[in-house]
């Protein structure tokens, strides 16, 4: 049932609530993408242990700005807790703290999204409410995983699970928001999309594999970083050169596949929104390849690492959108 079929006088109220749902849903999607970027920057800058405890930072709600604010034996206190060595660095501490603040903001946005989805769709289209609820639960789990990442002293496997949790949140929210447009008739069904849909699913699987493979490269870089030090960034890539070359080849395959998908979409649905999303996907794939080239040939610069990861997540998000648009009538 469409929300505008329930009759006046609640139509205007529902319209406003739906708009709020979409607004905070989009804000959550953007903030999750921003969180992925900041999280990547945290890792690239070596700031993952900038706050050695959780949810506080050096047992403070507002992190210290000077070592003088810490106990003289702070290394012993926090090193014993984490079974490792702790060195205060104000820049790394605040980078990690900003990462946590953004995580709180995501939680706030998703909570509001859940509230508005209940008011707008619980009686009319419960699937949208339940998708919002799933996203909210995933955010709570992500917060718990964040604590585990710190307590495990940045165990690579935990970091990877943490990142894929964020991708799952994006996918669920994108689906929920797109369903609202379909319910209201702003998105219409498309016919003759079976072959395109199959290619998009293959592309999504390749993109997920690309991200997983990228985490393997990142783990290899972490080991090189530990053995060679930050002063030898230009040598890190040599330790994983085989994986990097395969990663680059897979990126080119994804680009060619997306070009073929775009050709099919343009030949059948010229002027439809799906073509714009397909073109944006290609654009971000090209940007991702360019950042990969920068990482490969310019000494693995810290700024390019989180950008490369974030572009991969944006590509996957657009692929989710295209997949939905090829068959939006799914309830």
Instruction: Answer yes or no: do 165 and 17 share one domain.
Output: yes
So what's the pLDDT on residue 82?
A: 57
User: What is the band of 8 on the pLDDT scale with cuts at 50, 70, 90?
Assistant: very low
Instruction: Answer yes or no: do 200 and 174 share one domain.
Output: no
Mean pLDDT of 297-312: 84
Cα–Cα distance for residue pair 304/290, rounded to 1 Å: 10
115-143 confidence digits (pLDDT tens): 988 888 887 788 899 999 999 998 888 87
Cα–Cα distance for residue pair 139/110, rounded to 1 Å: 8
Instruction: Answer yes or no: do 48 and 153 share one domain.
Output: yes
Cα–Cα distance for residue pair 88/199, rounded to 1 Å: 49
pLDDT at residue 44 is higher than 80: no
Q: Specify which residues 57 forms β-bridges with.
A: 60
pLDDT at residue 180 is higher than 90: no
Domain boundary among 154, 186, 218: 186
Mean pLDDT of 98-120: 88
Greater confidence, 35 or 85?
35
**Closest Cα partner for 218 from 298, 159, 165?**
159
Domain count, the chain: 2
**Can you read off the two tokens belonging to residue 211?**
């991200």
So what's the pLDDT on residue 178?
A: 86
Name every residue whose Cβ is closer than 8 Å to that of residue 105 and which is 6 or more positions away in sequence. Answer: 31
User: What is the band of 329 on the pLDDT scale with cuts at 50, 70, 90?
Assistant: low
Three-state SS at 18 = helix
**In the block, which residue shows the tokens 């307590």?**
151
**Can you read off the two tokens belonging to residue 35?**
């969180």
Instruction: Answer yes or no: do 73 and 111 share one domain.
Output: yes
- In the chain, DSSP finds a helix count (H) and a strand count (E) of 10, 0
pLDDT > 70: percent of the chain: 84
Instruction: Answer yes or no: do 64 and 212 share one domain.
Output: no
Cα–Cα distance for residue pair 275/264, rounded to 1 Å: 10
First-to-last CA distance in the chain? 12
- Give the residue numbers spanning the domain of 279: 189-331
**Closest Cα partner for 316 from 56, 32, 90?**
32
Biggest CA-to-CA distance, the chain:
70
Cα–Cα distance for residue pair 244/12, rounded to 1 Å: 54
User: What is the band of 46 on the pLDDT scale with cuts at 50, 70, 90?
Assistant: confident
Greater confidence, 84 or 196?
196
**Can you read off the two tokens belonging to residue 187?**
């998105």
Q: How many residues does the chain have?
A: 331
Instruction: Answer yes or no: do 98 and 27 share one domain.
Output: yes
Instruction: Answer yes or no: do 44 and 19 share one domain.
Output: yes
Cα–Cα distance for residue pair 50/99, rounded to 1 Å: 11
Domain boundary among 157, 186, 215: 186
Three-state SS at 303 = coil
Instruction: Answer yes or no: do 173 and 205 share one domain.
Output: no
**Can you read off the two tokens belonging to residue 160?**
């990877």
273-298 confidence digits (pLDDT tens): 899 999 999 999 999 999 999 988 88
So what's the pLDDT on residue 290?
A: 95
So what's the pLDDT on residue 186?
A: 63
Instruction: Answer yes or no: do 84 and 163 share one domain.
Output: yes
Q: Are 134 and 175 in contact (CB under 8 A)?
A: no
pLDDT at residue 211 is higher than 70: yes
Please state, rounded to an integer, the average pLDDT across all residues of the chain: 82
**Can you read off the two tokens belonging to residue 85?**
């060595």
Instruction: Answer yes or no: do 64 and 101 share one domain.
Output: yes
Domain boundary among 186, 202, 231: 186
Least confident of 16-30, 128-142, 150-164, 196-210: 150-164
What own/partner pairs with CB < 8 Å and gap ≥ 24 does 15-19 have?
A: 17/116, 17/119, 17/120, 18/116, 18/120, 18/121, 18/180, 18/184
CA distances, 270 to each of 95, 194, 238, 259, 278 (Å): 45, 17, 45, 15, 11
Greater confidence, 264 or 158?
264
So what's the pLDDT on residue 150?
A: 62
**Can you read off the two tokens belonging to residue 99?**
């990462």
pLDDT at residue 256 is higher than 70: yes
Instruction: Answer yes or no: do 105 and 86 share one domain.
Output: yes
Instruction: Answer yes or no: do 109 and 200 share one domain.
Output: no
Mean pLDDT of 318-325: 91
Distance of alpha carbon 12 from the chain centroid: 34
Mean pLDDT of 156-182: 82
């Amino acid at each position: 049932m469409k929300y505008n079929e329930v009759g006046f006088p609640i139509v205007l109220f529902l319209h406003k609530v739906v708009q709020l749902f979409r607004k905070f849903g989009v804000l959550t999607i953007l903030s999750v993408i921003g969180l992925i970027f900041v999280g990547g920057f945290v890792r690239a800058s070596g700031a993952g242990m900038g706050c050695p405890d959780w949810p506080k930072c050096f047992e403070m709600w507002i992190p210290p700005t000077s070592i003088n604010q810490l106990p003289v034996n702070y290394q012993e206190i926090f090193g014993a807790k984490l079974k490792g060595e702790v060195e205060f660095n104000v820049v790394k501490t605040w980078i990690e703290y900003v990462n946590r603040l953004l995580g709180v903001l995501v939680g706030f946005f998703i909570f509001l999204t859940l509230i508005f989805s209940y008011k707008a769709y619980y009686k009319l289209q419960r699937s949208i409410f339940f998708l919002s609820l799933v996203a909210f639960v995933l955010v709570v789990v992500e917060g718990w995983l964040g604590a585990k990442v710190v307590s495990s002293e940045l165990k690579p496997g935990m970091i990877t699970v943490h990142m894929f949790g964020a991708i799952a949140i994006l996918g669920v929210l994108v689906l929920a928001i797109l369903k609202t447009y379909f319910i209201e008739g702003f998105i219409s069904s498309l016919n003759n999309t079976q072959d395109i849909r199959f290619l998009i699913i293959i592309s999504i699987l390749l993109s997920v594999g690309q991200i997983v493979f990228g985490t393997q490269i990142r783990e290899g870089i972490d080991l090189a970083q530990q053995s060679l030090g930050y002063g030898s960034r230009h040598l890190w890539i040599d330790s994983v050169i085989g994986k990097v070359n395969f990663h680059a080849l897979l990126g080119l395959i994804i680009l060619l596949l997306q070009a073929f998908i775009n050709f099919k979409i343009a030949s059948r649905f010229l002027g439809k929104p799906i073509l714009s999303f397909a073109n944006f996907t290609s654009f971000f794939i090209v940007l991702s390849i360019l950042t990969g080239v920068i990482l490969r040939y310019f000494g693995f610069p810290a700024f390019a690492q989180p950008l490369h990861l974030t572009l991969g997540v944006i590509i996957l998000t657009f692929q989710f959108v295209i997949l939905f648009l090829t068959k939006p009538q799914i309830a």
